[in-house]
Amino acid sequence: MSPPLYLNAVGIGASLGLGKQEVAPLLFAGSRETLRPGKEVRPGRAAVVGAIERPLPALPPAFSRFDSRNNRLLAALLSEIRADIEAAARRYGRDRIAIVLGTSTSGMAEGEAALAAYRETGRWPADFDYRQQEVGSAASFAARWLETEGPAYVVATACSSGAKTFASARRLIAAGLCDAAVVGGVDTLCRLTLAGFSALESVSAGRCNPFSANRDGITIGEGGAVFLMTREPSEIALLGIGETSDAHHISAPDPEGKGALDAMRAALADAGLSRDDIRYVNLHGTATPLNDIMESKAVCALFGETTPCSSTKAMTGHTLGAAGAIEAAFLWLTLHPRFNPGRRLPPHLWDGAADTALAPIRLATTDDRLPDAPRVAALSNSFGFGGSNCGLVLGRGW
């Protein structure tokens, strides 16, 4: 059992909106109107995506080598918690703040645009810098943007990236290498992921439909969430983390869900909690045939048919390397009395067509509520290619 750390502040952005005040009401109401047709995955076929439609702030000229949609979104997320980070810097020193961020495509969209221009003109655009698309760009940019001097790096484990940053940063704090960490993930849309998942026949023809008999694949989205994590007590605690690796297949999960189940059990053990202490589970819930079968088996084996669960990807799309961070932020909002005074749960949005091939789990509705109790805990699942699994337990009242 590890002592809790605290998630003192969070900044969030997704297709639902930018900032906690915009995102929370739509999350608990169960809005999926921001999943709209918009991106071509191959000639003649457009896909539904969860895009952030609001213009993102431009970066100053001094940051031109970092300029990408990914880093512009990251700057917007950091602005929401900048005051908290500055207070931590005054308290601990800038060399005692680490940055650990997850992503999968980073600034790949800028590389795609530059390559298209090169093919057309024979020249690379003057404003293109190869470093814009490097997977480690987000951490390097954030460290310079925030003027921090502690460890700064990116975790890239596909769709578990944003969740695994919490584990990595916790180890830095435990080792005495820092006193605070900026953790989370950010990923923005690009043709590579849209075309790649389409080639794998994993992209839904419409909006994703998790845990339905009619599910036909993922809807891809963009977004991110960043947290300030310290030992200083605050409203929401990071209670437990569980990590496992299936090594079952390069892209398909272990069909029995053993690695997923072990990650959830490890997160509960790390938190010193039992399954009965968990009052809500945010499912990985991609709406692919294999993921939902595997996850239903794992969740049912641990929690049975009574613990309310939902896949919020039906509202945001699958944000890939940012998904674990965004869904941790959804737990944070769900547990926080200021942003969720009605104790509502994010509802599971689907067509209601039950799949008898799935293990029975309880899918949350708009009527479900957290208990009115001094202490409440919830869990979030994240599963990546290659069997990279991570479970996070957050709690209020610790």
From residue 239, alpha-carbon distances to 5, 78, 98, 267 in Å are: 7, 23, 20, 8
Cβ-based burial of 289 (10 A; exposed 0-12, middle 13-18, buried ≥19): middle
pLDDT tens string, the chain, 398 residues long: the values are 778 899 999 999 999 999 999 999 999 999 988 898 876 655 666 789 999 998 999 999 999 999 999 999 999 999 999 999 999 999 999 999 999 999 999 999 999 999 999 999 999 999 998 888 899 999 999 999 999 999 999 999 999 999 999 999 999 999 999 999 999 999 999 988 888 888 888 899 899 999 999 999 999 999 999 999 999 999 999 999 999 998 877 667 787 889 999 999 999 999 999 999 999 999 999 999 999 999 999 999 999 999 999 999 999 999 999 999 999 999 999 999 999 999 999 999 999 999 999 999 999 999 999 999 999 999 999 998 777 999 999 999 99
Q: Report residue 216 as tokens.
A: 């036909």
Which residue reads 């963009």 in tokens?
222
Please say whether the beta carbons of 228 and 96 come within 8 A: no
How many Å apart are CA 303 and CA 283, to the nearest integer? 12
Start-to-end CA distance of the chain, whole Å, equals: 14
What is the pairing mode between strands 5-14 and 223-230? antiparallel
User: Under CATH, what is the fold of the domain 5-396?
Assistant: Peroxisomal Thiolase; Chain A, domain 1 (3.40.47)
pTM above 0.85, yes or no: yes
- With beta carbons less than 8 A apart as the criterion, state whether 84 and 227 touch: no
Q: Catalytic residue numbers?
A: 159, 284, 318
Specify which residues 226 forms β-bridges with. Answer: 11, 184
| Residue in 272, 277, 322, 270 with CA at minimum distance from that of residue 106 | 322
